[in-house]
Chain A
Amino acid sequence: MTNLRLLAGFAATVAVSLVGWSCETQRQALAPTIGGPRFHFLQFECSPVKMTGGGRIDYPPGTADKNDPATHIYETFGAHVMGSGVFDEESGHCPADKGSLEWVDHRPGMELNGHPLNLHSTSITFADIAVDAPHCVDGAVHWGGKLRVKNNGQEDLDFEVWDCDAGEPGVGQDGFAIRVTQDIDGIGHYEVTCDPPPAGPSPAEPTCTLTGGNRQFHPTH
């Protein structure tokens, strides 16, 4: 019985230590993948992370006000990402465990092969928590991976998104932005990023304000 008690005590100690270790934030000064000048999303850390939800952005200008629907100047998306928060020295990022992005740009000027530009992620490779975006009170994440352009089948384009949960409700507060690293055939350089407005509430730069939907940061563990 004494042996059993000892074993149970030892197992409990190990289990508690493991849980504690796995939850410990691994702070790293990760370098952003694109240059500034910006005021947010410059400092990152590795922590367990999960961000879910979707929404609508009316870019340009990407403020909290919807554009006239008749202009068709808006984008809609669904996106989620999960990461365990372990720093990877080689990439300089926190690898993502899984995730997905579905993005549709409804602007007439962004039509490709007669249809709205439709981007679909094929892999999510990193998810870094931004620690310098105080407006994103619930959490901010810089994440990305590879995507496919559904309109023309172009594959393996790198992309990154900036993702901001600034509380509830998400509309008028949360933010989202995307940039595709390589040119999209038939469109060229593609990004939906916003400057902060001169006044009023705004999500962290370079995110654009949601005009619909919600981004939800999940503090895991």
Chain B
Amino acid sequence: MKIDRIRWAIRFAGLVLPMTWSPGSLAAQGAAANAFGVAVRTATINQTTPAAVLPTDGTVGQNQASDVTVGTLVTAQDAFATATGAADGAQSDAVSSATLGTLSILSGLITADGVVAMASSTVDNSNAEGSSLANLVVNGTQVDDPAPNTRLDLPGVGYVVLNEQIPTSGGITVNMIHVVMQQPVIDLLGGVTGYQTTGEIIVGSASSSVN
């Protein structure tokens, strides 16, 4: 009787287990994507808007804001954030984008009138193709088509990284304008011994990954 039960269990498993198999189960893959228009983090402000995250059911996450104002730090118009993709084994994919129209950072220290941040990931491939900055002016100087991770100093403020591209696990994060605000650290004799970060502003961010 015992042997019969074991034989029945083996037969049952043999019938049912193959039905649970799918190509995706060979190498379980997850997909993640998110994007936002503006993020400001200082000692008194912690704001991100508009933001979109890839839903767990693999559909389309999206959000938008016609006008974004964060104190005197950022103003932006027509911000859209989108995150799409699906976890599906070797066919997993994730794509996110953030776009903005006219914008001003730190009362005009940095201006632009068109920002596109785009991140795309599939298995073994991630890129920021499609990202761009239009009519970007930094501290009075026009900057055309900045190379990835272009750093410019902002005297009295800190620095900005343009077209920032950060590899992540199975993916990429692209921040089109990333301002790091710093204050000098001064010793007793009045000398500058270093700088400490007091906040950051990110405009146009997109992340995607497939793991």
- Residue ranges of A at the interface with B (Cβ–Cβ < 8 Å): 1, 4-5, 8, 12, 15, 19, 50, 52-56, 66, 69-70, 72, 74, 76-80, 98, 100-102, 104, 106, 115-116, 118, 120, 150, 168-172, 210-214, 216-219
> Which of the candidate stretches B39-47, B83-91, B153-161, B193-201 sits at the interface with the other chain?
B83-91
Q: With A70-B114, A212-B118 as given contacts, are A102 and B82 in contact (CB-CB < 8 Å)?
A: yes
Across the interface, do A214 and B91 meet the contact criterion of CB distance under 8 Å? no
Q: Does B66 count as interface, using CB distance less than 8 angstroms?
A: yes
Q: Which residues of B contact A (CB under 8 A)?
A: 4, 8, 11-12, 15, 19, 23, 58-62, 64, 66, 78, 80, 82-86, 88, 91, 93, 95-97, 99, 101, 113-114, 116, 118, 120, 122, 125, 127, 129-135, 145
Q: How far, in angstroms, from A219 to B22 measured CA to CA in the complex?
A: 11
Hey, which chain A residues are within 8 Å of B84, CB to CB?
Answer: 52-54, 78-80
Q: Contact partner of A115 among B78, B114, B125, CB < 8 A?
A: B78
Q: List 17 A-B contacts (CB under 8 A).
A: A1-B4, A52-B86, A55-B120, A66-B130, A66-B132, A69-B116, A74-B116, A78-B83, A100-B59, A102-B60, A115-B78, A171-B129, A172-B129, A210-B130, A211-B129, A211-B130, A212-B97
Give min CB distance, A58 to chain B, whole Å: 9
Query: Which residue among B8, B59, B84 has the maximum number of chain A CB atoms within 10 Å of its CB?
Result: B84
Across the interface, do B120 and A15 meet the contact criterion of CB distance under 8 Å? no
> Contacts of A8 on B, CB cut-off 8 Å?
8, 11-12, 15
- Residues B122 and A168 in contact, CB atoms below 8 Å apart: yes
B91 close to A56 (CB less than 8 A)? no
If A19-B19, A115-B66, A169-B120 touch, whether A55 touches B130 (CB-CB below 8 Å) is yes
Kindly state the separation between the CA atoms of A15 and B80 in the bound complex, as whole angstroms. 46
Q: A169 contacts which chain B residues (CB < 8 A)?
A: 120, 122, 125, 127, 129
Bound-state CA distance A171–B118 (Å) is: 11
CB nearest to B62 among chain A residues: A102
Q: Is the CB of B127 within 8 A of A171?
A: yes
Q: Give A19 Cβ to nearest chain B Cβ, in Å.
A: 7
Min distance, Cβ B120 to any Cβ of chain A, angstroms: 5
**Contact A69 to B114, CB < 8 A, known contacts A54-B84, A77-B82, A213-B120:** yes
Q: How far is the CB of A209 from chain B (nearest CB, A)?
A: 11
Contact A171 B134 (CB under 8 A): no
A4 close to B118 (CB less than 8 A): no
Q: What's the nearest-Cβ distance from chain A to residue B199, in Å?
A: 28
Check if B130 sits within 8 Å of A98, measured CB to CB. Answer: no
Contact A54-B91, Cβ < 8 Å, known A115-B78, A116-B78, A216-B85: no
Complex alpha-carbon distance, A23 and B113, angstroms: 49
**Which of A52, A56, A79 is the one whose CB lies under 8 Å from B116?**
A56
